[in-house]
Amino acid sequence: MKSQIENLRRELEQHNYDYYVKSAPTITDFEFDTKLKQLQELEAQHPEFFDPNSPTQRVGSDIASGFEQVAHVHPMLSLGNTYSLGEVQDFYERVRKGLNEDFELVCELKYDGTSISLTYEDGLLVRAVTRGDGEKGDDVTANVKTIRSIPLRLKGNYPASFEIRGEILMPWAVFDELNREREEQEEQLFANPRNAASGTLKLQNSSVVASRKLDAYFYYMLGENLPSDLHSENLKAAHSWGFKISDATKVCKTLAEVADFINYWDVERKNLPVATDGIVLKVNSLGQQKNLGYTAKSPRWAIAYKFQAEKAVTRLNSVSYQVGRTGAVTPVANLDPVQLSGTTVKRASLHNADIIAALDLHIADMVFVEKGGEIIPKITAVDKEARFLIGDKVQFIKNCPECGAALVRFDGEAAHYCPNENACPPQIKGKMEHFVSRKAMNIDGLGAETINLLYQNELLRNIADIYALKIPDLIRLERLGTKSAYNIQAGCEKSKEIPFERVVFALGIRFVGETIAKKLAFAFKNIEALENATFDELITVDEIGERIAQSVVAYFADSQNIETLERLKTFGLQMSLSEEKLQAHGNALSGLSIVISGTFSQHSRDEYKTMIERNGGKNVGSVSAKTSFILAGENMGPEKLKKAEKLGVKLLTETEFLTMIMD
């Protein structure tokens, strides 16, 4: 019986591969379903032969469960974007100068889905993790197993352990059908296939995920024993193991070949069954990729060329105004519905008063609408020749549409702001929504609707009030039951373990994003030191400029913010770096400004940047009289070398640097 079950599994795995990866089925759907049902019955009769990677497991389960957060072994960084062939040439020149040797580029389609990282051990899928914040993501293995084009068991000669990354997609046909069904049920429609794929992957019910018919393409492999030093050869190997690799992949030796690839797919992509928004260019050699290294946010060896957005013409009916959590007021154009890039567009951002003035907008104007990156609709121009019986000229409002406060505009900024941050409802609620969000305090059960409900019932007025919520007060509210109330309380308690750097981010200080919050936390170590930091002290921190420093000083100068912080302290939030993180940072480079130049053999540029930061040093990009020394690798930039010699700046080799921080 065991051999019969295993034979059926192998046969169904092959049919899955033929249908979903090769697009060349050899049996009918009815025959496949009959064999699958037979296997399900045999497995039910013989549970001792259960296999988590059996084809029967692709149907999913209706048992709901939360997602575990998993740290990425290698950070999942985003790519830098270009929008013209001139910028592609600039990238090519940067790579050429950085390597100072011949190189190849691999051109691939940039699929517009949700990123995924799969880990395989001994040929079996053991983990699937979303991109998350780039450092950690959700373990969605159960849901990913329902995607038929993803192999659960590999074939051929594969490494014992490796990671492969790709894009999970919802095909256009599936997306259209899903939205049609949702429209019939009077449910909110998905804006685009990418949002639909991302939302589907996060569903708690994997049987529903299975019904959504997601697809996946893979584009990069990581591991110790990969088949080749060439990215293109690794993709071919992955295809032989059972992965779906795009046929639209080409190794290019010249810029002309890259341009031909881009021009061809800018037209042909419209015939593809899934959404794409550009081309990805990667240096083919993994060794050369390592030498080029990374910036703080993206690899230097890869870049994304974004296709020009599609345009449409429609009528402007009115302009409304939205107030964000920072008080920024965004004008929104309300339009006659129009089809654009596969979706229906009814609204578009007008960004700010300068944009409105430059467009010379009038109500009833016929306007050109496009999607920036084919996601966010925006008005780019007015068809002035089509003007007939137009209405009033659009003038930016002078008072906040929510609280009536007079709007302000700061020097050097395009946006108007409502200054009434402690009494303007959208700002108050927005700050709370930011505070409880996943990348901040990650408090379950407090979404936008619940926060609005609690605000309307005067249970929330600032972020500290979240920790003062009482179970009886929550239970009595409409739409909130006992289970929800206890979930909120549990989420609040768990959030008290969130590390200090995320607490700094959660505070919602203007201009302080995740990266800046982390740099502030590690520079000042605790909330008291950060609160007392002067403007001059703040701007010495890496990546902290005048605008951010002024914002931090202004935040801690507000008595209401200080009162809120004191309350948060009493509730037990983490207000200093953990001992573990304090010990992980030395001071061998304290107060030193260091430039990195050239290519290295022992570590990548990014690894050296991290070492510098962890030992109290500051990474700087250009050589000056204030530079303490240059960490110099092979092929150091001639201009930096010349300037270093002129200024008498010392050069350290890799070995000298590593010895320095280890002493």
Place of tokens 């081309």: 279
Contact status, residue 116 vs residue 272, Cβ threshold 8 Å: no
In angstroms, the CA 620 to CA 542 distance is 8
Instruction: Give the C-alpha separation, 427 to 517, whole Å.
Output: 20
φ/ψ of residue 471, rounded to 5: -55, -50
| E-only strand ranges, 223-292 | 249-252, 276-283
Spatial contact of 242 and 21, defined as CB atoms under 8 Å apart: yes
Q: Supply φ then ψ for residue 346, to 5 degrees.
A: -120, -20
- As a whole number of angstroms, the distance between CA 604 and CA 78 comes to 18
Give φ, ψ of 350 to 5 degrees: -105, 0
Per-residue three-class SS string for 575-606 = CECCHHHHHCCCCCCCCCEEEEECECCCCCHH
List phi, psi (to 5°) of 553.
Answer: -60, -45
Q: Quote the Cα angle for 472-474-476, to 5°.
A: 70
Edge-to-edge order in the sheet of strand 215-222: 124-130, 114-121, 161-169, 215-222
3 state DSSP class of 120:
strand
- For residues 555 and 571, give the distance between their C-alpha atoms in angstroms, rounded to a whole number: 21
Tracing tokens 């084919």 back to the chain, one arrives at: 374
User: Active-site residue among 35, 110, 253, 519?
Assistant: 110
CA-derived radius of gyration, the chain: 28
What are the CA-CA distances from residue 270 to residues 81, 175, 277 (Å)? 21, 16, 10
Q: Are 230 and 285 in contact (CB under 8 A)?
A: yes
Nearest to 628 by CA among 604, 660, 586: 660
| The pair of three-digit structure tokens given for residue 643, joined into one six-digit string | 């300037």
| Alpha-carbon dihedral sign for residues 561, 563, 564, 568 | positive
Interaxial angle between packed helices 559-570 and 546-557, expressed in degrees from 0 to 180 and rounded to the nearest 10 = 70
Q: How far apart are CA 548 and CA 539, in angstroms?
A: 8
Nearest to residue 598, comparing CAs of 527, 539, 657?
657
- Per-residue DSSP letter, 160: S
SS3 172: helix
Q: Is 250 part of the annotated catalytic residue set?
A: no
User: What DSSP string runs through 395-458?
Assistant: ---SB-TTT-PBPB--TT---EE-S-TTT-HHHHHHHHHHHHSTTTT--TT--HHHHHHHHHTT
Could you tell me which of 316, 313, 314, 337 has the C-alpha nearest to residue 393? 316
- Would you name the residues annotated as active-site residues? 110
